[in-house]
Amino acid sequence: MGYREELENLGVNAAEGIDRVMGDEPLYEMMLGMFPDTVKGAEILAGDFEQADAEKLIEQVHMLKGMTGNLSLTPLFNGYVEMLGMLREGKVKEAGEVMGKLRPIQEQIIECIERNQS
Q: What is the mean pLDDT of each run of 10 residues along the chain (118 residues)?
A: 92 96 95 94 73 82 96 97 95 92 96 92
HEC per residue, 12-59: CCHHHHHHHCCCCHHHHHHHHHHHHHHHHHCCCCHHHHHHCCHHHHHH
Given this model, what pLDDT does residue 45 score?
Answer: 67
**pTM for the complete prediction?**
0.91
Distances (CA, A) of 113 to 86, 93, 118: 29, 30, 9
Given this model, what pLDDT does residue 89 score?
Answer: 94
Given this model, what pLDDT does residue 25 score?
Answer: 94
Given this model, what pLDDT does residue 1 score?
Answer: 76
Given this model, what pLDDT does residue 5 score?
Answer: 94
